[in-house]
Amino acid sequence: MGKVTDIPNEDNILRWIKNKHLERSVDGKEVIGLFHGAFRLREGESYLSVNWIEFFDGNEKQKLSKTVDDFRNGLNNRRLSPKSLFAKLNVETFKKTCLQHAAKVIILHEPDKIKSHTAIRQLPQDNALLFDDICNLAFDFLIPAENFLD
Partner 1 sequence: MKGLESTSALSRQIDIQSSGAGKVATFYRNMTESYDEERTSSSYSNVKDDDNRTTEENLFDNRADLKILTSHYAVEHISAETRKQLFNQIDWLLDPEGWEEGDRFANSESFKVLVKFMLNSHPRQAPSLGLTDDGNLVASWRFGDNRLVLECLPDSHIKWFVSCVFDSAPERASGEVPSLKRLLDVLLPYKKAGWFKGKWVK
Binding site for partner 1 (CB under 8 A): 18-28, 32-33, 35-37, 40, 42-43, 78, 81-84, 128-129, 132
Judge whether 80 and 19 are in contact, CB under 8 Å: no
Which CB, 1 or 128, lies closer to partner 1?
Answer: 128
Judge whether 137 and 101 are in contact, CB under 8 Å: no
Secondary structure (DSSP) of 107-128: EEE--SSSTTEEEEES--SS-H
Which CB, 12 or 51, lies closer to partner 1?
Answer: 51
Please tell me the distance from the alpha carbon of residue 56 to that of residue 93, in angstroms, as a whole number: 21
Strands 48-52 and 142-144: unpaired
Shortest Å distance, C-beta 35 to partner 1: 4
Please tell me the distance from the alpha carbon of residue 5 to that of residue 110, in angstroms, as a whole number: 7
Shortest Å distance, C-beta 4 to partner 1: 26
Shortest Å distance, C-beta 59 to partner 1: 30
Which CB, 46 or 59, lies closer to partner 1?
Answer: 46
Which CB, 22 or 64, lies closer to partner 1?
Answer: 22
Shortest Å distance, C-beta 84 to partner 1: 7
